[in-house]
Amino acid sequence: MAPRTSTTEVSASRRYPIGVEVFHSGNGPIRAHARVWAPVCDRIELVREDTGQAYPLTAEPDGYHSLLVDGLGPGTAYRFRLNGGDSVPDPASRFQPDGPHGPSVVVDPSAFRWTDREWRGVSNSGQVIYELHVGTFTEAGTFRGAIERLPDLVDIGVTIVELMPLADFAGKFGWGYDGVNLFAPCRLYGSPDDLRAFVDAAHALELGVIVDVVYNHLGPEGNYLARFAPRYFSGERTEWGDAINFDGADAAPVREYFLTNARYWIEEFHVDGLRLDATQQIFDDSPRHIVAEVTDAVRAASGSRRTIVVGENEPQEARLLAERAAGGCGLDALWNDDFQHSAAVAATGRDEAYYSGYRGTAQELVSVAKYGFLYQGQWFAWQGRRRGTPALSVAPVRFINFLQNHDQVANTAGGRRLHRDTSPGRYRALTALLLLLPQTPMLFQGQEFGASAPFLYFADHSPELSALVREGRRTFMAQFPSTIAADSEPRPQDPGDSWAFVCSKLDWSERRTHAEHVALHRDLLTLRRCDPVIAAARPRGLDGAVLTDHTFVLRFFGVAGDDRLLVVNLGARLHADPIAEPLMAPATGDDGAVRPWRTVFSTEARVYGGWGTPRLETIPNGWWIPAESSVLLAPSDDPTPHR
């Protein structure tokens, strides 16, 4: 079958500058157009797997090669033959059913029938994020399997699902941060249409979906980009591999590749935004930073739908949140490691490695509640440099707080979750703090039902690479002496052992047997959503005070004396008398009437596994604050005259 080339037709019809796209032309034959950037190749052929037929691509002046082919329809497997030698996958392949070393497959995204026409996307406020790894979220470990559990997330109050990276990677299991086919949803989880079905089902339940993308490096196995163009990589090194060339020679097509990828997830899969992994390792000295361009690309691709772009940034650079006119990148929010680190030290007492700059004191937790980042330019001894930049003016919702995430669970003894490393009361108190603060909360899969499954680091590679990964992981974990000493797991933590993957799968029967965890999260998120003062999350709408090293109070300011008081005690039962702290004074209405505090929520309620909700007496014996608890108070419905 003879190929046809029509530059005018293609330029008017292509959605993306790279990859293979299907074209429907009425009653005519189905056709596909292939385009790839390969400036180091003199000759490129598209080779069909089924017939072996080769189609020579036409070289363009700027290093691209392209061709319009009749009869190349959905489901056709193909590779690109480079300079008459090896045949390799498409660098913009839409699906790799046999993994990164196998053939690419033509995909027609228009074949899927969406039902989310009325979905308007997600804004930056009022969200509760839930991070999950598709492979371990359910026993099936697939997109279709995950759909079955989405109603359970809605039930507790989750509003956005954040999927750990989906780009296809080598091996039978992995976290996804070593992806190499950035346009191909991982075949281990299902087909591209299975992912579309997942997003469509989420939207039907009014759940947003964002995808974690890795734009700082590619994985070490199955990465063929350099065969097409070595300039995809800069020659610099990140912590995990070669850095991407965003600002050197021939950087324009590289930027185009990643910007196209950002658009692709929004347009072809209807996702509601991206989470950018380790932005501090995205090196770019261009006048217009690639992170800013990615943000703009997401906005443009979403049309009238609202989207969010979230960043992970270990140095805590607030400029990433600033508007473009102010020299920023326009991200909607950043992960807040400071909250997790301080809360984890408060829960466990372990302050080693990167936790060494935190004490877990009441003052730290008050400060993180008021200001987001704890480090905003102070010296951080563990790193031997200053950490963070000023962020006092950043709105609370733009900080994403969490007690657990994939990294922080895996960086413990045997992937132990936080509730297993502290007392039940203290864990409940910290959960209340997380879910009631004005910052955006994030849960990690299974957290809402106190999952017993660990979450380990797992990655399936070749024997040679597995040995390097195993040694690298051992070296990394050596910074946590208590983790090594406390590790009593029955088998060693070899990332390449399938046991690490299998035992990390959630047991959803625990949602029933651990009902007290579910009730705690559901009720707190109901308060967060429905209480008018807690839900307001106004900038400067909260103040706090320290009562002891382990006890503090946060006052949420409402309107006309309609305040809320959150008392958090991570230590022993406390008798506060006298209570010389103005934030604990009763609320007063416009008429001057005193409205004594009443308890509206306590983590010590028996339904959450506590000892029973105490009555907080304030007169005449001061305050009796129960041990290891969080108690939320509101003004009494019966105002009393001020005396």
Active site residues: 277, 312
Q: CA-CA distance, 416 to 427, in Å (whole number)?
A: 14
Q: How many CA atoms lie within 13 A of 583 on its CB side?
A: 19
Convert 562-591 into a string of H (helix), E (strand) and C (coil). CCEEEEEECCCCEEECCCCCHHHCCEECCC
Q: CA-CA distance, 175 to 268, in Å (whole number)?
A: 23
Q: Where are the alpha helices (DSSP H) in 247-360?
A: 251-269, 290-302, 337-348
CB 340 within 8 A of CB 360: no
Q: CA-CA distance, 543 to 555, in Å (whole number)?
A: 5
Contact partners, residue 378, CB within 8 Å, separation at least 6: 386, 387, 388
Q: CA-CA distance, 82 to 78, in Å (whole number)?
A: 13
DSSP label at 340?
H
DSSP label at 277?
S
Q: Per the structure block, which two tokens stand in for 577?
A: 């008398």
251-269 vs 290-302: helix axis angle to the nearest 10?
30
Q: CA-CA distance, 131 to 167, in Å (whole number)?
A: 16
Q: CA-CA distance, 56 to 44, in Å (whole number)?
A: 6
Contact partners, residue 266, CB within 8 Å, separation at least 6: 273, 298, 301, 302, 307
